[in-house]
A and B are shown apart, each in its own frame.
Chain A
Amino acid sequence: MKIRALMLAAALAGLGVTAVTAADEPQAVRQQLMKKVGQATGALSGIAKGEKPYDAEIVKASLATISETVKVFPDHFPAGSETGMETEASPKIWENMADFKAKAAKLGGDAEKILAELPADQAGVGAALGIIGKDCSSCHESYRIKKD
């Protein structure tokens, strides 16, 4: 459905019709941001599991992506974006915005700390991933709801 909406937006744009595209909505923006974090985490996980060789550049880039992305992530929860576009955001975010932001900041801070002392091998990446994963789930525990 999302794809169809995007295709429609593209088609309309092609016709010279200006339309607010679905991709501009905060719900879609934050979904994209989380996807970026997921991809970065995936790159780290590949190394931690030994599926990919250790590569300092990839580790560095992935950690930077995580820390930069979660810095702006909580900015995309304005009033009015509580529902719609299959958002998995819990209403509790708006009730406890300070705590929600603190949890995002914790992940950002931890990613920066790890970046400053870059894990030097597969085991180091695994340990880093453990810290990052806990930060992710501690926020998902309170603030994400699953729809299916």
Chain B
Amino acid sequence: MGRRARYLLSGLALLAIAGGGLAWWLTKPDRSDASQWEGLGDPDLSNGERVFWAGGCASCHAAPDTTDNGASDDSAADEKRLLLAGGRSLKSPFGTFYPPNISPDETAGIGTWTLAEFGDAMTRGVGRDGGHLYPSFPYGSYIRMTAKDVNDLWGFMQTLPKSGNTTPQHDLAFPYNIRPAIGVWKFFYLTDEPRARINTADTKLARGQYLVEGPGHCGECHTPRDALGGFEEARWLTGAPNPEGEGRIPDITPASKSVGGWSASDIASYLETGFTPDFDTVGGSMVEVQKNMAKLPASDRDAIAAYLKALPAL
């Protein structure tokens, strides 16, 4: 923390020297061109649902789960995951984030937002009030999503139940509690460039890349971060300390000691059933992710597996 704080402070100081005005201009919240969200037509709700599960929205935004005992009542558990009341806590080295209510409730949720406002939050990290959103909301990945997928997702989310729940403010340490500083983060790290160089002429690989680098936001946990909280680009998906506590989030490239030896079908089957090839099961925060992945069509899980196998072994 100390080192991070010093880096951030010196970064801020440098920017101040370069000129407050220039810094402001470089780091101000940047909405997308409004035309991007026009003329998309009626949302395809079934694709919207597919995007919803690929994006893992429920893992952070569903109401805190206190009664899940594992098995038995699947449909009730599923229904609860569609109530996007917010309020779980997301611990990080910077403090605790409380994902907000994103149910279609008109006051507590985002029911009165427009597609453009939703799209700017999703892909630019700009809130409805025009301020920066924290990158704990993984717009650094969602920026790769197509406008069509965002439109379909928005349509699907309108169909979900409303919640009047009000969530706590993020509880962050100084200087991370200064919102304009997020602009500095965006200036350095927010990019829609591909994360890995793979053969995108192969439609399956391209689909896998889209899912992993975009909506699936796998890198958010599986890629190590530098002192300012940006990805260490050269170490894409090579594993990182668990931000929520002890242990590590594993390397999922072909060089991984734990999963590097898995075949593409092993990976796809793990995402579908939660079983590893040696009959261990999914654990930790990946349990929620796997539940989401299980809802995707098999072709999407196959594409994710193919992409991971195609990554360079670092």
Query: What is the interface of chain A, defined by CB distance below 8 A to chain B?
Result: 34, 38-39, 41-42, 45, 88, 90-91, 103, 106, 110, 129-131, 133-141, 144-148
Contacts and interface: CB of A to CB of B under 8 A. Distances in A.
B71 A131 contact: yes
Given A41-B279, A137-B274, A146 B284 contact: yes
Contacts of A45: 275, 279
B276 to A, nearest CB: 9
B228 interface: no
B136 interface: no
B280 interface: yes
Nearest to B251: A148
B41 interface: no
Given A103-B70, A133-B274, A138-B287, A147 B248 contact: yes
A35 B280 CA distance: 8
Contacts of A103: 69-70
Interface residues of B, number: 29
Contact of A141 (B258, B278, B279, B283): B283
A112 to B, nearest CB: 14
Contacts, number: 85
Contacts of A135: 70-71
Interface of chain A, helix or strand or loop or mixed? Answer: helix
Contact of A90 (B246, B250, B279): B246
B246 A38 contact: no
Interface of B: 68-71, 239, 242, 245-251, 257-258, 273-275, 278-285, 287-288, 290
B283 A140 contact: yes
B76 to A, nearest CB: 14
The 3 closest A-B pairs by CB, nearest first: A140-B283, A145-B247, A138-B70
Contact of B273 (A38, A133, A141): A133
Contacts of B284: 140-141, 144-146
Given A133-B273, A146-B247, A138 B69 contact: yes
Given A41-B279, A137-B281, A146 B258 contact: yes
A140 B242 contact: no
Nearest to B245: A145
18 contacts: A38-B278, A42-B279, A90-B247, A106-B69, A130-B71, A133-B274, A133-B275, A135-B70, A137-B274, A138-B70, A140-B284, A141-B283, A141-B284, A144-B283, A145-B245, A147-B248, A148-B248, A148-B257
B256 to A, nearest CB: 8
A92 B118 CA distance: 38
B235 to A, nearest CB: 15
- Report which residue of A129, A135, A148 has the largest number of chain B beta carbons within 10 angstroms of its beta carbon: A148
Contact of A38 (B245, B251, B279): B279
B121 to A, nearest CB: 29
A66 B250 CA distance: 27
Nearest to A39: B279
